[in-house]
Amino acid sequence: MITTTQLRDFAFFLSNTSRWELEKAGIISPGPSGDTAWKRFNNDFDVFVIKLSAEKLKALTDMIAGYLQVSEYSREQAAAAERKVA
């Protein structure tokens, strides 16, 4: 089950992920050939996901999972630092 925090983190992932990150991960093609995929990622994410090959879908899943782990770790570190100050 997804938590409200994970859902918010996922929304941040969608808002903050750059085209070059998707290109670097092999999820979209670099240059003009990736324009359609990049537009779809930003404007029609569900269709973007449906159209991905299994390999690219795995890469996107790994990318999202990594983002969510970093977000959780950052929150834990911030909470630990706050406890030390208090």
Mean pLDDT of the chain: 91
Cα-Cα-Cα-Cα dihedral sign, residues 20, 48, 56, 36: negative
Provide the greatest CA pair distance for the chain: 53
Instruction: Compute the distance between CA of residue 45 and CA of residue 47 in angstroms, rounded to an integer.
Output: 5
Confidence of residue 52 (pLDDT cuts 50, 70, 90): very high
Q: What is the pLDDT of residue 78?
A: 67
Span 17-29, average pLDDT: 97
Domain locations along the chain: 4-85
Query: pTM of the full predicted structure?
Result: 0.82
Q: For residue 62, name the pLDDT band (cuts at 50, 70, 90).
A: very high
